[in-house]
Chains A and B, each alone.
Chain A
Amino acid sequence: MSFSITEPSPRQKWIAGTLVIAYALLTLIPLLWIIATGFKTPSDAIAYPPKVIFSPSLEGYVNLFTSRSRVTPEDLAALGPPTTWYDAIVRQYDMVITGPSRYGERFLNSVIIGFGSTFLSVFLGTIAAYAFSRFKVPLKDDLLFFILSTRMMPPIAVAIPIFLMYRQLGLSDTHLGMIFLYTAVNLSLSVWLLKGFIDEIPIEYEEAALIDGYTRFQAFYKIVLPQAATGIASTAIFCLIFAWNEYAFAALLTSGTAQTAPPFIPTIIGTGGKDWPAVAAGATLFLVPIMVFTILLRKHLLRGITFGAVRK
């Protein structure tokens, strides 16, 4: 058998495959451990040596979504047999469900704030990047550098001024405040990433559209936007990941109405002993939206599908 120079040999492919799989396993183990912990009982979760094989339980998920209180055995007996499967689980510990937990609300806050700020970052980023890419903007390079410079320190370094400012403006613990904050942090990344993508779209497409009888805005909407879809999708993923996972500002600026899931999840642990399965369950569910979002936009992440119709 002979091989071309550019095509790797089976041996090389085999080695590369092994390395990739090993790396994937290494990075996936913590994730798999979290998912597994969510399905353990509290005693299994803290067992030593750690249990890899265990009998799954939904206790973590039940505890995650409910508030419970302890009752005396007599009261418990007076209640009669449990009416639902989750009642049954809770009553093993001499407890009754008193209502839903705050997790649902906090999760919804995360969705509103995460997706809201992602939309705003990408929307503002796209129009700003288009302007920087196509128009003569006075002091363009300085402005771009200024935008980049907002990323030169960790955002949390300005936590105190922002805290005071938000309190004055009444933005503390509001959805809008958190959306604005995450947008401000993400905007420089968004402008720079998208400018790179839009720079790569040949200006001839728009010129052709202008000649074909369209206004500049129509050309932008009909020609540039579809071309920039790849860039917009990947920028959106980056923005969402940041806003979704952000902890420090969320812990500092939100406590009730607008509290997102990251600062909420650790508080679960205190409500009923060391409830690791409930924490793990909360973390697992918290991963789902971003995974779905990334998978949905994966097609756009494959670069190069739309390039090549202009002779270079």
Chain B
Amino acid sequence: MAEVILDNVSKHFGKQTALAEVSMTIPDGAFVVLLGPTGAGKTTMLRMVSGLDKPDIGDVLIGDLDMKGLTPAQRNVAMVFQQYSLYPHLTVRENMEFPLKSPLLRTPKTEITRKVAEVAEILQISHKLDNKATALSGGEMQRVSIGRALVRNPAVYLMDEPLSSLDAKLRADLRVELKNIQANLGATFLYVTHDQIEAMTMATHVGVLDHGRLVQFGSPREIYEQPVSIYAASRLGQPRINILPADLFGQAPPNATHIGLRPEQIQQGEGQDTLVKRVEHLGDQTRLHLTFKTHDLITVTNAHTALRAGDIVKIQPDRPFYFDATGARIA
């Protein structure tokens, strides 16, 4: 386990900027989640750390060692690819044994057997160990691919949307398992996801990437409660933050062009009248689609609300965010 440092890393593919001057310190034992839409540079960042791609400028350090010129094997990293990339001519067991048998590790036979059995148990694939890798469902392949990383004890685990094609229950189980493994081993994780809950529940740190730039790096609560920009604020929160003209609810700070309201920043019962357009009962919560002075906004209310479409509720902002014309937060 080790600390991972990216120092001023830039990477271009042709004219495309994949990463621009990214500096980030991943503390030893941290679980860092990278957020950003497709093309923001999340996968590129994993590839920089793994050594599959090399930075144009900048350095990657793992455990205080400069990784320049080192092959992926020499870096001792484990990676779960977005495409599962299981070796198709091998069985599930052989796939999971593969890294342990490498010239790098040369694990004793009994240790391999024990480790593979243990990880297969956690991932609920013990009964599939002797299947061909090609004879699995998508979710099973994804778990084998996670397993191939977990059998090792590398400097850092790199995971590119590892839970994306699992069903909801399995995803919830594995979320807990991965978090446990990280906590028990003190392992360092660099993890890419689009999933809101994964980011909020698993991360010790969240990095928000925008067109190859790291725009904010901090704890999930920090990103959620103190976003630096509209962009960063939009990465977390379900339903998404409502972005409205700054003066919609009355006076706004000077220079503010937008007001940002998360559901909990919309106080119901007081303030100005707004029309309920639609009510969505999700079970544990109810979403309200509101129309306020021709602007649409979405908020959350009591699970057992009696509100219906066409009703009128009063709302007012409660400690909202204000952003300037560039999208940067000013209050």
Contact = CB atoms under 8 A, between A and B. Distances in A.
A211 B134 contact: no
Interface in B88-139: 88-89, 98-99, 102-105, 133-134, 138
Interface in A268-312: 306-312
A225 to B, nearest CB: 10
Contact of B89 (A204, A211, A306): A306
Interface residues of A, number: 24
Which interface residue of A209, A211, A212, A309 has the most chain B CB atoms within 10 A? A211
4 closest A-B pairs (Cβ-Cβ)? Answer: A213-B102, A213-B104, A212-B99, A204-B85
B83 interface: yes
B231 interface: no
Interface of A: 202, 204-205, 207-216, 218, 223, 226-227, 306-312
A210 to B, nearest CB: 4
B84 interface: yes
B243 to A, nearest CB: 34
Given A207-B52, A207-B81, A213-B102, 13 more contacts: A204-B83, A204-B85, A210-B72, A211-B50, A212-B78, A212-B102, A306-B89, A308-B88, A310-B84, A310-B86, A311-B82, A311-B138, A311-B165
B141 interface: yes
B81 A210 contact: no
Nearest to A226: B89
A212 B145 CA distance: 11
Interface residues of B, number: 31
Given A227-B89, A309-B134, A311-B165, A214 B103 contact: yes
18 contacts: A205-B85, A205-B88, A207-B52, A207-B72, A208-B85, A208-B87, A210-B52, A211-B72, A212-B78, A212-B148, A213-B104, A214-B103, A214-B104, A215-B73, A310-B86, A311-B84, A311-B141, A311-B165
Interface of B: 50-52, 71-73, 76-79, 81-89, 98-99, 102-105, 133-134, 138, 141, 148, 165
A90 to B, nearest CB: 55
Q: Which of B72, B81, B82, B104 has the most CB of A within 10 A?
A: B72
Contact of A215 (B51, B71, B88, B138): B71
Given A210-B71, A211-B52, A205 B105 contact: no
Contacts of A226: 89
